[in-house]
Amino acid sequence: MAVLDLDGTLINGRSIIILSKHLEMENRVVEILNLNIDERQKSEMIASLLRGVEVSELSDIFKDVIDGRWIEIIKYFKNKMIRVGVITITYDIIAFKILEDLNLDFIEAVPLKVENGKITGEIVVDDLILETPWCIKCPKCKRASLKRVSQSFNIEAHKDVITIGDGLPDACMFIDSALPITINPKNNIVKNKAKIIVENVDSLKKLLWELVV
């Protein structure tokens, strides 16, 4: 099984920044992202800014944000009969919109409440956190999500899972997976918890084409 990160991996930058630019609230979102507080609190604060936004507004914002090389990688995994999906701490309605055409086996994201086609400004926080020394209290614990998804497919993560990401939440998945790969890692913790470090998508493609045969 292959587990991919979304923001900073499948897409350049953060999906919430793409949306905030469209909604003309980028500065406010960036201010929240830069606060020295838990990721859960940041997610709740940003969600409140989205209160009243029509879900239909997301229809064309995220068109073609995924690099074609990533689509090739996903297809390669699937052609090799490897389950592939995404675990992200972005909001689910954003993740589903970005990933809707990729035929993934699973998408784990932060549920953003919607009523009558409008965002309510509230999220559903995942209470289960499998803490690490560098835990930043994400609204969806990626380590817990990896465990849940692996169990649902009857897969042992430490034997049969490839994880690919770039940030601290991904390092939490790395410690429980067989082959953790970081692409353009954000810090030394991510580097140290990965078994393989690559600088770009082309290097990753070359690596996977050699490893996954």
Residue 84's Cβ-count burial label (10 Å; 0-12, 13-18, 19+) is buried
Q: What average pLDDT does the chain have?
A: 95
Residue 205 binned pLDDT confidence (cut-offs 50, 70, 90): very high
Amino acid at 56: S
What pLDDT, in 10s, does the model give residues 56-84? 988 889 988 999 999 999 999 999 999 99
Rounded Cα gap, residues 135 and 173, in angstroms: 11
How many CA atoms lie less than 13 Å away from 71 in the CB half-sphere?
11
Closest C-alpha among 210, 175, 149, 79 to residue 198: 210
The answer to whether 47 and 112 are in contact (CB under 8 A) is yes
Q: Where are the domains of the chain?
A: 2-211
Residue 148's Cβ-count burial label (10 Å; 0-12, 13-18, 19+) is middle
What pLDDT, in 10s, does the model give residues 122-179? 999 877 889 899 999 999 999 999 999 999 999 999 999 999 999 999 999 999 999 9
- As assigned by CATH, the class of the 2-211 domain is alpha beta
